[in-house]
Chains A and B, each alone.
Chain A
Amino acid sequence: MAEKKTKKETASKKKETPKAAVSAKTEKAPAVKAPATEQKKARVGVFICHCGTNIAGSVDIPDVQEYAKSLPNVAFADNYQYMCSTPGQSKIIAAIKENDLTGIVVAACSPRLHEPTFRTATKEGGLNPFRFEMANIREQGSWVHMHDREGATDKAKDAIRIAVAKASLLQDLVPKTVPVEHAAMVVGAGIAGMQAALDLANAGIKTYLIEKNPTIGGRMSQLDKTFPTLDCSQCILTPKMVDVGRAENIDLMTCAEVENVEGYIGNFDVTIRRKARGVLTPAEAEAKGIVGGGCNGCGDCEAVCPVIKPNPFEMGMKPRKAIYIYHPQVVPLIYTIDWDSCIKCGLCVEVCGEKKAIDLEMKDELVKVKVGTAILATGYDLFPIEKKEEWGYKKYENVVTSLEFERLICASGPTGGHLVRPSDGVTPKKVAFLLCAGSRDNTGVGKPYCSRFCCMYSLKHAHQIIEKIPGVQPYIFYMDIRSFGKMYEEFYYRIQDEGAKFMRGRVANVLEDPDTKNLLINAEDTLLNRPIKLEVDMVVLAAAVEPAAETDRTRKLFGVSRSMDGWLLEAHPKLNPCGTTTAGVFLAGVCQGPKDIPDTVASAEGAASAASIPIHKGEVELEPYFAQCIEEKCAGCGMCVNLCPYQALSLVEKEGRTVMQVTEAKCKGCGTCGGFCPGGAIWMQHFATPQIIAQIDAFLIGGAK
């Protein structure tokens, strides 16, 4: 039953498609006359790539070529060492002209790699580029059946047969060109987001910089010094923060989150939630008619606020008020109210006086902006290292994380830069640094990856205490020191020379002496082959990092995938580390994977450059994989309308009938509608039902064997 029905459909659709195709054409596409090529008998050319020995090593190329020649509709077959090379492409161009081909099949690597290359070649040969189909015989052939020549060869033959079946039915398609909004968005204003926004702004692009916290600066602003140069982190960061605050092209929104994203590359409609910070900026005040008002950062409000809470910027080790700034160098210098702890006593409003900066009734606002491209720079959090219970974090007071250490050693931190033990305020004389705390951990509790910057900052920590505390002894418990960057190994040399003791062994557990609050470390000196117990005053855990908590929500809004470990997935790990599979969305900094500051800045500049290209080009081509309605068949049932996730389909009256209509600009070509049209009335361009059925038939009943 099913089969018959499908067959009939296939037949009838074939007749109708030219009409559908014509109606789908826009005025922009006069060059190719679809019906003319449609009616011609299919003449397909097959080209088989050796890819050096990558394919030829596991696939019998001559055999496959002979087989390809025997297939119906195949007018020409050839092979070449490297089809993607210029001579390889020339073969395609020449063959189209010489053999009057209507479709091209290249059996080589993945279409995700070289489809664009061969489409261009097809076009240069005088055919519509969408008359090209690729057979993947490398990634899904020779490489996964390396030692099964017969199996790989058979699979290659089938793959070509399936591709030829589709190529025989392919149509001319014309990509749509859309204009690109001359604006960009950067989500996250840590060092990555700031750098990307500055680059975009300097390239003349209006840039919206969205930050969830009340200030920009991110993790880097929490650090004391940076390795290996020992630059003061704040000193090199604050100029950038000021630049961001001042840049004309940057529209900085702090206390803001992305609420919703619609559209596609060139035309993203982004809704931003500007959370009520309870305090007006001077500009906002002016807009409200308060002349010379708004927050000037004087801090009078903070002085009178009666509520005391831990400051998250100081890792909770310093108090702040319910109306607060994180630290003196914040950008923008505007106070923020923590609604969870504010008791609305109104003292701040009173003291603020004529500036009228404080509004205790402020509500969240939703702002809509349109951007052409977007960069995600959402950064990282520390892995909750208390989950690795053996090291006693949160159980023993003198076990701290590296980020807490940064605040404790920082001159602007809670202790004014004097490193002290949280338990008794005494300066520690023996400090142990535990590396790979939760990193390189396959137990399912920690993280399987290397967090990449812990080795180096722990070396820096050791240096800092040697510098500040006379007679201190740092112990670094490590498995491997990974000092791979420029001047990093030299830094390692320096710290060893300064007297840090390197203990090659992972710490099994930490115990506390309840009386002295000293810590007893159990480890093995694996180089001496000897278990060691070491009593220290303080333990610093170089905790693993993980994607920031909001990353998952944000990435889903932008349609970005994540890899198995949670970091956002780049389009290609080697060759497109800033891009994503969603056109127009790019990644910067640690959200893509652990990076130190130089790598983060480099990746941010890369992302900014990539994100500016479509904007400067002014227009982008969208793949023409739209749904089309075959109106003769459409019963107007409307089932597809609800299936479409993009509201691209609607029912309209036409010649007295209700039929479905596609808004092409909204359609992204997923085909969900076409997958369930009961009447088979939806024509998915390039993935049309007859084309797919032909592939199925070719695979299962088209075999010559």
Chain B
Amino acid sequence: MADEWKPQIMGIICNWCSYAGADLAGSARTQYPPDIRIIRVMCTGRVDPLFILKAFTDGADGVLVSGCHFGDCHYLEGNYKGAKRMFMVKSLLKNIGLEDKRLRMTFVSASEGAKWAKVVEDVVKTVTDLGPNPLKELAP
């Protein structure tokens, strides 16, 4: 068991929708794999592309950015801007030869606890299928 590889996935999620959705999954006791660690920000607009790149150079196997649905952002349009940046990061990842599937952006509202569980399950599966981040060996 101990030497079985488990992916390290970083989740950066917004306080108002996805974090609340994740909490809802918790109070509903919806079970999902434990391979994700959450960093809370107020809005996905806060997510600097450097955060994602930093995570990958640190050896993260996957990154999930999750915010409100379009049109539902607590700050009007932060999620649009966040999503736009994620597209940019995805193409950057492709350029350096890292699978862009390792980065996912999803939209989970505060009432979508079940969806959150599904998203995590899905991300964990995608990343597990991709295997360890090749940059991990270079990580400090």
Q: Which residues from chain A sit less than 8 Å from chain B, CB to CB?
A: 2-3, 5-6, 110-113, 136, 138-141, 143-148, 151-152, 154-155, 158-159, 162, 556, 559, 561-564, 569, 581-582, 625, 643, 645-646, 668-672, 674-676, 684, 687, 689, 692-693, 695-697, 699-701
Is B26 within 8 A of A692, CB to CB? Answer: no
Is B85 within 8 A of A6, CB to CB? Answer: no
Binary CB contact string for chain B from 95 to 130 against chain A (1 if under 8 A, 0 otherwise): 000000000000001111000010000000000000
Q: Which residues of B contact A151 (CB under 8 A)?
A: 33-35
Is A581 within 8 A of B34, CB to CB? Answer: no
Identify which of A147, A152, A563, A676 contacts B81 (C-beta below 8 A): A676
Binary CB contact string for chain B from 46 to 68 against chain A (1 if under 8 A, 0 otherwise): 11111101110111100000001
Given the interface pairs A564-B112, A675-B82, A693-B51, the reply to whether A701 lies near B139 with Cβ below 8 Å is yes
Q: Which residues of B contact A3 (CB under 8 A)?
A: 53-54, 57-58
Asked if B29 is at the interface of the complex by the 8 Å CB criterion, the answer is yes
Q: Which residues of A contact B38 (CB under 8 A)?
A: 136, 140, 159
Closest CB of chain A to B120's CB: distance in Å?
Answer: 9
Identify which of A110, A561, A671, A700 contacts B26 (C-beta below 8 A): A110
Identify which of B23, B46, B109 contacts A112 (C-beta below 8 A): B23
- Can you list the 7 inter-chain pairs with the closest CB atoms, starting with the nearest? A139-B26, A671-B46, A672-B45, A151-B34, A670-B75, A700-B58, A563-B111
Closest CB of chain A to B129's CB: distance in Å?
Answer: 19
Q: Which residues of B contact A693 (CB under 8 A)?
A: 50-51, 54
Given the interface pairs A140-B26, A143-B27, the reply to whether A701 lies near B48 with Cβ below 8 Å is no
Q: Which residues of A contact B75 (CB under 8 A)?
A: 645-646, 668, 670, 672
Q: How far is the CA of A136 from the CA of B42 in the complex (A)?
A: 16
Q: A2-B57, A672-B82, A674-B48 are in contact. List 8 more A-B contacts (CB 8 A).
A: A2-B53, A3-B53, A561-B74, A561-B111, A675-B82, A687-B42, A695-B39, A696-B10
Q: How far is the CA of A148 from the CA of B19 in the complex (A)?
A: 22
Q: How far is the CA of A693 from the CA of B46 in the complex (A)?
A: 13
24 contacts between A and B (CB under 8 A): A110-B23, A112-B20, A140-B23, A143-B27, A145-B34, A556-B72, A561-B110, A561-B111, A562-B72, A562-B111, A564-B112, A569-B110, A672-B45, A672-B46, A672-B75, A675-B46, A684-B46, A687-B41, A693-B54, A695-B39, A699-B37, A699-B58, A700-B8, A700-B60
For B92, give the chain A residue with the smallest CB separation: A2
Q: How far is the CA of A561 from the CA of B139 in the complex (A)?
A: 40
Given the interface pairs A143-B26, A670-B75, A671-B46, the reply to whether A561 lies near B51 with Cβ below 8 Å is no
Given the interface pairs A144-B117, A561-B16, A675-B45, the reply to whether A701 lies near B110 with Cβ below 8 Å is no
Closest CB of chain A to B113's CB: distance in Å?
Answer: 10
Is B42 within 8 A of A669, CB to CB? Answer: yes
Is B81 within 8 A of A643, CB to CB? Answer: yes
Q: Which residues of B contact A147 (CB under 8 A)?
A: 31
Is A144 within 8 A of B85, CB to CB? Answer: no
Q: How far is the CA of A511 from the CA of B140 in the complex (A)?
A: 74
Is B58 within 8 A of A701, CB to CB? Answer: yes
Q: How far is the CA of A234 from the CA of B54 in the complex (A)?
A: 65
Interface size class of B (residues with CB under 8 A): 35 or more
Closest CB of chain B to A647's CB: distance in Å?
Answer: 11
For B61, give the chain A residue with the smallest CB separation: A700
Q: Which residues of A contact B91 (CB under 8 A)?
A: none
Is A696 within 8 A of B54, CB to CB? Answer: yes
Is B31 within 8 A of A146, CB to CB? Answer: yes
Is B23 within 8 A of A155, CB to CB? Answer: no
Q: Which residues from chain B sit less than 8 Å from chain A, CB to CB?
A: 8, 10, 15-17, 19-20, 22-23, 25-27, 29-35, 37-43, 45-51, 53-55, 57-60, 68, 71-72, 74-78, 81-82, 85, 109-112, 117, 139-140
Given the interface pairs A112-B23, A139-B23, the reply to whether A144 lies near B29 with Cβ below 8 Å is yes
Q: Which residues of A contact B17 (CB under 8 A)?
A: 561
Given the interface pairs A561-B17, A564-B111, A700-B10, the reply to whether A145 lies near B58 with Cβ below 8 Å is no
Identify which of A155, A563, A581, A646 contacts B16 (C-beta below 8 A): A581
Is A670 within 8 A of B46, CB to CB? Answer: yes
Q: Which residues of B contact A646 (CB under 8 A)?
A: 75-76
Q: How far is the CA of A682 from the CA of B78 in the complex (A)?
A: 16
Is A581 within 8 A of B110, CB to CB? Answer: yes
Is B10 within 8 A of A699, CB to CB? Answer: yes
Q: Which residues of A contact B139 (CB under 8 A)?
A: 700-701
Q: How far is the CA of A141 from the CA of B140 in the complex (A)?
A: 28
Identify which of B22, B23, B55 contacts A700 (C-beta below 8 A): B55
Q: Which residues of B contact A155 (CB under 8 A)?
A: 34, 37
Q: How far is the CA of A241 from the CA of B113 in the complex (A)?
A: 41
Q: Which residues of B contact A563 (CB under 8 A)?
A: 109-111
Closest CB of chain B to A664's CB: distance in Å?
Answer: 16
Given the interface pairs A561-B17, A561-B109, A564-B111, the reply to whether A138 lies near B26 with Cβ below 8 Å is yes
Closest CB of chain A to B96's CB: distance in Å?
Answer: 10
Is A139 within 8 A of B22, CB to CB? Answer: yes
Q: How far is the CA of A154 from the CA of B9 in the complex (A)?
A: 13
Q: How far is the CA of A695 from the CA of B78 in the complex (A)?
A: 22
Max count, chain B CB within 10 A of own CB: residue among A5, A143, A155, A674: A143
Q: Which residues of A contact B74 (CB under 8 A)?
A: 559, 561, 581-582, 670
Q: How far is the CA of A547 from the CA of B83 in the complex (A)?
A: 29
Closest CB of chain A to B69's CB: distance in Å?
Answer: 9
Is A6 within 8 A of B50, CB to CB? Answer: yes
Q: Which residues of B contact A146 (CB under 8 A)?
A: 29, 31
Max count, chain B CB within 10 A of own CB: residue among A110, A152, A675, A684: A675
Q: How far is the CA of A421 from the CA of B29 in the complex (A)?
A: 51
Closest CB of chain A to B110's CB: distance in Å?
Answer: 6
Identify which of B27, B54, B110 contacts A2 (C-beta below 8 A): B54
